[in-house]
Amino acid sequence: MPTWIALLRGINVGGNHPLPIRDLAGHLEAVGCNDVRTYIQSGNAVFTAPRKSGAARGKQIADRIEAHHGFRPSVLVLCADELKQIADENPFPEGQRDPKTLHVFFLTAPARSPDRAAIEALRSPTERYTLTERAFYLHAPDGIGRSKLASRAERLLATPTTARNWRTVQKLLDLAAAG
């Protein structure tokens, strides 16, 4: 069975949309996911399941959470090969030495009309970024919390995203490989 990665957006952040990770694992199992492994409280899971489109699996997971918790998180589901490809395309290997400075914004659809002028205007002198069909990579050596670009990236890309720091990306790859 293929290995999948679910990235949930907006759960357990700032006290909003609480979803205990044990509950998340149970919901994944209830919709046919096996060998569920979670990573930190912010909505990351690795599992095996029969082949199905990531979008269909994400909808199934979001439907289940909404039915049981009263809110609907955005759920992006990638196969392990997709996550590996996105990681392999990282244009900022120096971010691996300090993984909190490198974030990957996973795109739910390609950014067809990003506001490149606004992205450039918000980018600090030390920040660098690259946009691909599946991801927006942002290297912010002065800290992601200080980045004006990071806080507005999704709106400027004009497509829904969910972001993870490089440490989380690497941990998800490790969990997928260990499966």
Superfamily of domain 3-83: SP0830-like domains (3.30.70.1280)
Token duo for residue 2: 């293929």
Pick the CATH number of 89-177 from 2.160.20, 3.30.1370, 3.30.70, 3.40.1350: 3.30.70
One fold for 3-83 and 89-177: yes
Residues 6+ apart with CB under 8 A from 56: none
| Half-sphere exposure for 106 (CA within 13 Å, toward CB) | 26
Question: What value, to the nearest 5°, has the Cα angle with vertex 80 and ends 167 and 98?
Answer: 15
Nearest to 79 by CA among 46, 103, 108, 112: 46
Asked whether residue 1 carries a pLDDT value surpassing 70, the answer given is yes
**Structural domain boundaries in the chain:** 3-83, 89-177
Nearest to 164 by CA among 2, 31, 5, 19: 5
| Average pLDDT of the residues of the chain | 94
Q: What is the pLDDT of residues 88-130, one digit of tens each?
A: 999 999 998 999 999 999 999 999 999 999 999 999 999 999 9
Q: What is the pLDDT of residues 48-60, one digit of tens each?
A: 999 889 999 999 9
pLDDT range class, residue 14, cuts 50, 70, 90: low
Instruction: Quote the pLDDT of residue 172.
Output: 98
Min mean pLDDT across 4-13, 99-108, 153-162 is at: 4-13
